[in-house]
Structures are given as C-alpha cells and as structure tokens.
A and B are shown apart, each in its own frame.
Chain A
C-alpha cells in the first residue's frame, strides 16, 4: 500500500463521525454519583467531637485524682516538715533535751 492510498483511506474514514449521543445521555448524573461515592460522605469536623468525649472524661478524672492526691500529700508534708522545723528551733533556743 502506498502513501496515496493510505491518505485516501484516512480521508474516507474521516467522514464517519462516531455517534456518541447514546453514551452521552445522562452522563453528568452518572459522573456526579461516581464523584460522590469516590469522595465518600462529607462529615463536618464537629461530627467527630463525640468521639473525643471519653478522652476528655479520662483527662478530667485524671486531673481530679491528681489534684486530690497532690493536695493531701502537700498538707501532710508541710505539717510534718513544719512541725519538725518548729520543734528543732524550740529545742535549740530553749536548750531542752531532744
């Protein structure tokens, strides 16, 4: 086959425009449905907030326990050390027996 024949074949084939009307029908609807499924359901950020409730509850409980223990141990410690210091000073100044 020579170039001239091939060119004629192309020129003749160019006259046939593929009919795409059937495939085009309702294409936008199918495409938008495809895009929606691909993206998945869109959830606002606050929709996930409830999932953080247990975490926040645990943090609050931990803070409460820590504060309670800290305040108790703090008092005890100061009482012990305070008394000890005062006793030591009194003994030193009065010359009492230890």
Chain B
C-alpha cells in the first residue's frame, strides 16, 4: 500500500514539477513590467527602468542606425544620441503609439541629422575597385558594398528615403510617419533618389 503511494508520488512528480515550471514562466511573464510602466518608473527617477527600456528596444535602434553608420564607433555615437534624446523627451511621450514606434521616429530623425552633418565626408567616397557586374551574379555582400558606397554620394534626404523604402522595406505610409514628410513628398524624394542612384552606378559602370 505504502509502496504504491510512493510509486504514485514518483510518477506524479514530473507532472507537478512541470506545472510548477509553467507557473513560474507564466508569473514571470505577468511580472514583467510593460513599457508604459517602465516609462512611469523612469519619470519617477528610476534609472534601472530606463536601462530595461533600452535593453528591450536597442536591437531595433541599432538596426536603423547601422544602415547609416560607417563603423562601430559611429554606430555607438548615433545610438547613444538617440537614447539620450528619448530620455530627455520621455515626458512628451503620450502613449498614442507604442514606445518602439516613438523611439524609431527619434532614431530616423537623428540619423537624418547625422547624414546632414557628415555629408562632406561622404561626397569623397570612391567607387573605384568595386565591380558591380550584372545583378544576377553579384554576391549579397558585394551588392551591399556597392550600394553603401553609391548611396554615400546621395543627399541626406535621398539616402534616408531610399534606405527606409528599399532596404528596410517600409511602406510609403510608414516612411512618411517616420520622417514626418507627407506621402507625396516621400514618393517624389524616392523617385529622385532612384534617378540619382542609377546615374551614380551608371557612371561607375562605364569607367
């Protein structure tokens, strides 16, 4: 009788243990504070809450900034500027859109400012030594390198709009929201950017 009871308890143990683990996972998910909660805590002076917000959203911000930065040092600088701005403007966050969208808008504006500031450095970027070839046989890394160098010669707004539309695959509406430009303005700038980019690549191909 006792043996049976012991056996049953051993058989039951894994199930019970699994339930406990599931319970822990569920409670951890419930306990995890929302972005809104973290924002409130940050505004109340909790620095760790802001660090958690950064931890959650840095991947997205780094993804946007990495399209414009030329090295890790620049990337770090841009991302720090983005999050410092976010911290300073946190009071103005009204929660109408998710925090990720809000911080993405700040990221796009900061990258735009960065492109304008470094425009003169980029005008001298050379396309020499890069073989574009036909698009069918070009490798992904080569294509990225060619575009990176060719796009460096575009103006800040042209580069921004083409990066968001073509590389980040944002829609015209999303690009308009991120940049603060009207949709028709985005379309016009994108058209001009494509024309300019084709011209740059053609000139390089003819050499």
Cβ 8 A contact of A1, one of B55, B75, B76, B202:
B202
Q: Look across to chain A and name the residue whose beta carbon is closest to the beta carbon of B203.
A: A1
Contacts of A34 on B, CB cut-off 8 Å? 80, 84
Residues of chain B at interface, number, CB under 8 A? 40
Please report whether the interface of chain B is mostly helix, strand, loop or mixed according to DSSP.
Answer: helix
Contact A27:B79 (CB < 8 A) given known A13-B167, A34-B84: yes
Contact A31:B83 (CB < 8 A) given known A13-B147, A20-B62, A24-B58: yes
Report A35-79 residues with CB < 8 Å from chain B CB: 35, 38
Q: Is the CB of B54 within 8 A of A24?
A: no
Contacts of A18 on B, CB cut-off 8 Å? 63, 66-67
Please report whether the interface of chain A is mostly helix, strand, loop or mixed according to DSSP.
Answer: helix
Q: Is the CB of A13 within 8 A of B140?
A: yes
Q: Look across to chain A and name the residue whose beta carbon is closest to the beta carbon of B81.
A: A34
Contacts of A5 on B, CB cut-off 8 Å? 134-135
The reply to whether the CB of A86 lies closer than 8 angstroms to some CB of chain B is no
Q: Is the CB of A31 within 8 A of B84?
A: yes
Q: Mark B45-82, 1 if CB is under 8 A from A, else 0.
A: 00100110011001100110011000010011001100
Q: Look across to chain B and name the residue whose beta carbon is closest to the beta carbon of A34.
A: B80
Interface segment among B24-32, B95-103, B193-201: the answer is B193-201
Q: Look across to chain B and name the residue whose beta carbon is closest to the beta carbon of A27.
A: B58
A9 and B142 alpha carbons, distance in the complex (Å): 9
- In the assembled complex, the CB of A61 is this many whole angstroms from the nearest CB of chain B, namely 40
The reply to whether the CB of B16 lies closer than 8 angstroms to some CB of chain A is no
Q: Mark A1-22, 1 if CB is under 8 A from B, else 0.
A: 1110110111011111110101
Q: Is the CB of B75 within 8 A of A20?
A: yes
Q: Is the CB of A16 within 8 A of B135?
A: no
- List the 10 closest A-B pairs by CB distance, nearest first: A8-B135, A18-B66, A12-B143, A20-B62, A16-B144, A15-B140, A13-B143, A13-B144, A10-B166, A23-B72
Partner-A contacts on B (CB < 8 A): 47, 50-51, 54-55, 58-59, 62-63, 66-67, 72, 75-76, 79-80, 83-84, 87, 132, 134-136, 138-141, 143-144, 146-147, 166-167, 169, 194, 197-198, 201-202, 205
Partner-B contacts on A (CB < 8 A): 1-3, 5-6, 8-10, 12-18, 20, 22-24, 27-28, 30-32, 34-35, 38
A-B contact pairs, 7 of them (CB 8 A): A12-B144, A24-B58, A24-B62, A27-B54, A27-B79, A35-B50, A38-B84
